[in-house]
Amino acid sequence: MFEKCEYVTSIVSRKHSPNNDNRPEIVFLGRSNVGKSSLINLITNRKMLAKTSALPGKTVTINFYNIDDSFYLVDVPGSWGNCEFYRILSGNDEGGENGDANFFKTKIKSIYW
Ligand SMILES: Nc1nc2c(ncn2[C@@H]2O[C@H](COP(=O)(O)OP(=O)(O)OP(=O)(O)O)[C@@H](O)[C@H]2O)c(=O)[nH]1
Ligand SMILES: [Mg+2]
């Protein structure tokens, strides 16, 4: 498993991303309460790395987790993810005020579902 799994920062705009050296980012998108944050804890084998809740809407920011200094796991709010996910898949270039719609688009390598 991974040795280093640490919370780095929470952001609300791509401008504040901690990823300055272009590491891969593995981002979990999906509607609220489906278990995105829980999945991050499962993958990293840490119980409390990502905060989870039985109530929808727990994750309200884009949270970066540094994994072995080699890539990031990124947790996003359910509501935010839904909206942007479809925008990304539809190839619509229009970004929001702070350009977050382009956040994944420029980095995206693969989508699994
Ligand atoms: N039955 C079941 N419950 C799960 C599973 N994974 C997570 N949960 C539960 O689902 C609830 C929501 O989990 P979260 O991981 O907080 O969900 P989220 O997708 O991050 O939600 P937001 O932060 O609101 O976007 C919690 O009560 C978890 O314990 C699973 O595999 N099975
Ligand atoms: Mg969450």
pLDDT tens profile 100-112: 445 554 556 666 6
Structure-token pair, residue 21? 């050296």
The residue among 112 and 2 whose pLDDT is bigger is 2
Nearest CA to ligand 1 atom 23: 59
The residue among 80 and 74 whose pLDDT is bigger is 74
Closest ligand relative to 36 C-alpha? 1
Handedness of CA 6, 7, 9, 11 (dihedral sign): positive
Q: What is the pLDDT of residues 5-26, one digit of tens each?
A: 999 999 877 778 899 888 988 8
The residue among 4 and 84 whose pLDDT is bigger is 4
37 lines ligand 1 (CB under 6 A): yes
Tell me if residue 85 falls in helix, strand or coil: helix
Name the β-bridge partners of 11: 62
Q: Are 1 and 63 in contact (CB under 8 A)?
A: no
> What's the whole-model pTM score?
0.84
Structure-token pair, residue 82? 């839904």
Judged against a pLDDT cut of 70, whether residue 30 lies above it is answered with yes
Helix (H), strand (E) at residue 74: strand 71-75
Tell me if residue 82 falls in helix, strand or coil: helix
